[in-house]
Chain A
Amino acid sequence: IAGITQAPTSQILAAGRRMTLRCTQDMRHNAMYWYRQDLGLGLRLIHYSNTAGTTGKGEVPDGYSVSRANTDDFPLTLASAVPSQTSVYFCASSLAGGVNHEQFFGPGTRLTVL
C-alpha cells in the first residue's frame, strides 16, 4: 500500500452496536488523527496521536475511543453507536504533530447508524 487506507468504505450499523473503523498508513508518520465531517460543518477532530503509545482527545471525543499500539495503525472504536454518529469519518496522518505539517487523508468511511 502507498499512503493511508481506511476500512470499511461504508457501513450501515444498528444503534447500540459496537464498531471499529480501521486506519493504516505506510508513510512512517508519527502523528495520526480521526475526524468526522458533517454537512455544513468543518472537519471536527475526534482523537489524535502524536506518537505510538500516546493518544489525546480532540474537539468531539465522546462516544469514541482510539488506540495506537504501533506507528502504522490507528483504529477508532464506537462502543455503542448512536444515530448522531452518522457521518463521514476521515483518518489522517502527518510527519509530526504539534507543528505546521500538512496532513494526508485516507479515503474516508461513510457510516450510517440507524
Chain B
Amino acid sequence: GQNIDQPTEMTATEGAIVQINCTYQTSGFNGLFWYQQHAGEAPTFLSYNVLDGLEEKGRFSSFLSRSKGYSYLLLKELQMKDSASYLCVALDSNYQLIWGAGTKLIIKP
C-alpha cells in the first residue's frame, strides 16, 4: 500500500534549526510536497521536489532522495510563528496525492 511516515510531534527552541523527516512508499513517484498548517487554519504550500537534492527557499529548505524514499524539511532561525503542523505529501504515478498525518512543531522561547 501507499504510505507516508513522519514524526507526530517535535519540539525546538526559538532561533535554532530543526529537521522534519518524512519517508514515503508510493506506487510510482511524481514528486513530493511540503505544506504548512497552523492550528485551525488551512494548509499552505511550502515546497515541491521532484529531483534529488536540496532546494532552499529563505529560512526553509527541502531535501529529496528518490532512491531512499526520503525527504526532509529544514527550518532555520526558528521563529514562534513557525509553530504549526508540517504535512509531507507524495504524488504517485497517477498524480494522486498521498498525505501524511503531519508533524506538529512546537517552538519554545
Contact B50 A100 (CB under 8 A): yes
A-B pair count, CB < 8 Å, reads 44
CB closest chain-B residue, reference A59: B96
Q: Is the CB of B48 within 8 A of A102?
A: yes
**Smallest CB-CB separation from B96: which chain A residue?**
A45
B33 with A90: CB separation less than 8 A: no
Task: Report Cα–Cα, A45/B33, bound state, in Å.
Answer: 16
Is A34's beta carbon under 8 Å from chain B?
Answer: no
In the assembled complex, how far is the CB of residue B83 from the closest CB belonging to chain A, in whole angstroms? Answer: 18
The answer to whether residues A90 and B100 also contact, given A42-B87, A98-B95 and a CB cut-off of 8 A, is no
* Bound: A97/B97 CA distance, A: 11
Within 8 A of B (CB), among A54-110: 90, 97-100, 102-108
- Find out whether the CB atom of B101 lies under 8 angstroms from the CB atom of A103: no
A42 to B99, CA, bound (A): 5
B102 in contact with A107 (CB, 8 Å): no
B47 to chain A, nearest CB (A): 9
Question: A41 and B101 in contact (CB under 8 A), knowing A105-B42, A107-B41?
Answer: yes
A40 within 8 A of B: yes
A43 beta carbon closer than 8 Å to chain B: yes
Whole-angstrom distance between the alpha carbons of A104 and B76 in the complex?
25
**Contact B95–A100 (Cβ < 8 Å):** yes
Report yes or no: A107 in contact with B42, Cβ–Cβ below 8 A: yes
How far is A102 from B43 in the complex, measured between Cα atoms in Å? 11
Are B42 and A100 neighbours in the complex by a CB distance under 8 Å?
A: no
- Residue A44, interface by CB 8 Å: yes
Q: Which of A40, A104, A105, A107 is the most central at the interface, judged by chain B CB atoms within 10 Å of its CB?
A: A105
Binding site for A on B (CB under 8 A): 4, 30-31, 33, 41-45, 48, 50, 87, 89, 91, 94-102
